[in-house]
């Protein structure tokens, strides 16, 4: 009798153990919980055969600073047909940090500036969260960039136009906060924490790749 009871218990527990052992990426996505489908959503840039992942972020946002190391590890493993793009939250056309991002991008200097700005604001606290263009330009100078040229770029027409585009994208995507991941301009990820957001993004990417 004892052996029979043990066998029945094992038979009951094995399916539970199998379900518990399933990797989290296998859980089906639920619209409205894991992501929101954006009505008439369009990508930030033409797809050109790629799947687009946009992270809308802000340098002054401590959540974005916390998210950055996870994003670094995650995007390093993305397939070749996935394009990852940062878009600064630019609701204020005079936002110095949003202007600083685009100026650095145009200068091909994001590898020097992107992580350095997060670090200066949130770790070293050498830059205030409401830093001025002059303060950021001076900081860029310490990174080896031409401070005067970077300031002129931040204040220029081209960067201003990029801010308008970023603002329009955030509005039509229904941005509610930062950081936010948006896939192909069509799906806004709403995972409950950083790991959930990346899980959902990975599954949406897999879904889109499977349709091709």
pLDDT digits (tens, 9 = 90+) for 31-77: 999 999 999 999 999 999 999 999 999 999 999 999 999 999 999 99
pLDDT band at 139; cut points 50, 70, 90: very high
Give me the pLDDT at residue 158, please.
Answer: 97
Contacts from 74-79 at CB under 8 Å and sequence distance 24+? 74/198, 74/201, 74/202, 78/53, 78/205, 79/205, 79/209
Rounded CA separation 18/33 (Å): 25
Rounded CA separation 79/184 (Å): 15
Q: Which residues pair with 188 in a beta bridge?
A: 36, 182
pLDDT > 70? residue 17: no
pLDDT > 60? residue 143: yes
pLDDT digits (tens, 9 = 90+) for 163-191: 999 999 999 999 999 999 999 999 999 98
- Spell out the residues 6+ positions from residue 63 whose beta carbon is closer than 8 angstroms to its own: 177, 178, 179
pLDDT > 60? residue 80: yes
Give me the pLDDT at residue 41, please.
Answer: 94
Closest-CA residue to 184 (of 44, 80, 66): 44
State the fold for domain 30-210: Glutaredoxin (3.40.30)
pLDDT > 80? residue 1: no
- Rounded to 5°, the CA angle 43-96-144 comes to 100
């Amino acid at each position: 009798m004892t052996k029979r009871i043990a066998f029945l218990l094992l038979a009951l527990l094995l399916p539970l153990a199998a379900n518990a052992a399933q990797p989290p990426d296998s859980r089906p996505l639920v619209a409205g919980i894991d992501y929101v489908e954006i009505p008439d959503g369009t990508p930030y840039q033409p797809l050109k055969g790629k799947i687009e992942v946009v992270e809308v972020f802000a340098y002054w946002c401590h959540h974005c600073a916390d998210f950055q190391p996870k994003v670094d590890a995650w995007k390093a493993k993305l397939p070749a047909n996935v394009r990852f793009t940062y878009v600064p939250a630019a609701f204020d056309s005079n936002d110095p940090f949003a202007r600083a991002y685009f100026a650095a991008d145009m200068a091909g200097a994001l590898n020097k500036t992107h992580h350095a700005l997060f670090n200066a604001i949130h770790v070293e606290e050498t830059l205030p969260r409401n830093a001025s263009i002059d303060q950021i330009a001076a900081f860029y100078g310490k990174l080896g960039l031409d401070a005067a040229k970077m300031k002129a770029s931040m204040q220029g027409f081209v960067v201003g136009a990029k801010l308008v585009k970023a603002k329009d994208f955030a509005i039509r995507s229904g941005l509610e906060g930062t950081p936010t991941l948006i896939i192909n301009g069509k799906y806004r990820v709403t995972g409950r924490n950083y790991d959930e957001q990346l899980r959902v993004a990975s599954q949406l990417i897999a879904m889109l790749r499977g349709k091709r």
